[in-house]
Amino acid sequence: GMVGWGCGTGKIMDNWYYIPPEHIEGDRAYISDPNERRHLVRVLRNKPGDVIVFVDGDGWKYEGIIARSDPEVVEITVETRSRDEAEGGVEITLAPAILKGSRMDTVIEKATELGISFVIPMRTKHTVAGQGSVSAHRLDRWQRIAQSAMKQSHRARLPRVLPVLDFEILIEKLPEYDVAFLAWEDESQANLVSTAARYSDAKRLLLLIGPEGGFDRQEIERGRQAGIHTVSLGPRRLRSDTASIVALALLVSR
């Protein structure tokens, strides 16, 4: 057989593509992203007749056969279509305080691998990065990171990076969620695992992670009044990016 690399067994089938639903029509699909086309044709040297796997970002996974492959047009004949069952109907929204530099990239990549559905970059009192505005370019970049992490982790659902929200505004959106957790290093009564266990039926979960400077005491009080559960992630003071990843790992293990 083929020489395996990564976590899979075969080169072609390991490399998943993303084709948004508007480029899938009946049994025809077209790779619209020029970078993806170039990758398929020039790097992987896929030819007509080769089988490829692609996802639509809405939870469908497809297998198809390449009908035409040149850098301008890659056309695929759809062979099979199946629902990605791993998603299980639970939607986790991660609201991480905006971090400096590439730390936010890391959070979005790892959070995608861990199965989140939405990211809401959050502005809090002690958020240093993005205190002014977050550029469209940066939001775009985060969405693209989610896209490649989706393919890499073999998910069929694309996490959406939503517009930046202030802590106060996010609080007003709580009714959209079944339960909300806020990771707070000074919480001594409740940890995330035991608290989440009481909400095993919840389908829409919101998770708030503070910036390097932590949440302001006022924000903690405000959040609690609004019904958010403050939870500990253990005795160590984790960096903000680590806290996002740890909290999600604990949540998905339930």
Chain residues binding ligand SAM by CB under 6 A are 183-185, 209-210, 212-215, 232-234, 236-240, 243
User: Could you tell me the smallest distance in angstroms from the CB atom of residue 90 to ligand SAM?
Assistant: 21
CB of 56 or CB of 219, closer to ligand SAM: 219
CB of 165 or CB of 238, closer to ligand SAM: 238
Alpha carbon distance 176, 136 (integer Å): 25
| Residues 178/199, Cβ–Cβ less than 8 Å | yes
| Residues 89/203, Cβ–Cβ less than 8 Å | yes
CB of 64 or CB of 214, closer to ligand SAM: 214
User: Could you tell me the smallest distance in angstroms from the CB atom of residue 230 to ligand SAM?
Assistant: 8
Alpha carbon distance 139, 249 (integer Å): 24
User: Could you tell me the smallest distance in angstroms from the CB atom of residue 178 to ligand SAM?
Assistant: 20
CB of 46 or CB of 232, closer to ligand SAM: 232
Describe the strand order of the beta sheet including 118-119 as a list of residue ranges: 160-161, 118-119, 91-96, 204-209, 179-183, 229-231
The H-or-E segment that residue 183 falls in is strand 179-183
CB of 124 or CB of 147, closer to ligand SAM: 124
Three-state secondary structure along 45-111? CCCCCCEEEEECEECEEEEEEEEEECCCCEEEEEEEEEECHHHCCCEEEEEEECCCCCHHHHHHHHH
CB of 112 or CB of 232, closer to ligand SAM: 232
User: Could you tell me the smallest distance in angstroms from the CB atom of residue 125 to ligand SAM?
Assistant: 11
Structure tokens at 21: 């639903």
User: Could you tell me the smallest distance in angstroms from the CB atom of residue 71 to ligand SAM?
Assistant: 45
User: Could you tell me the smallest distance in angstroms from the CB atom of residue 242 to ligand SAM?
Assistant: 7
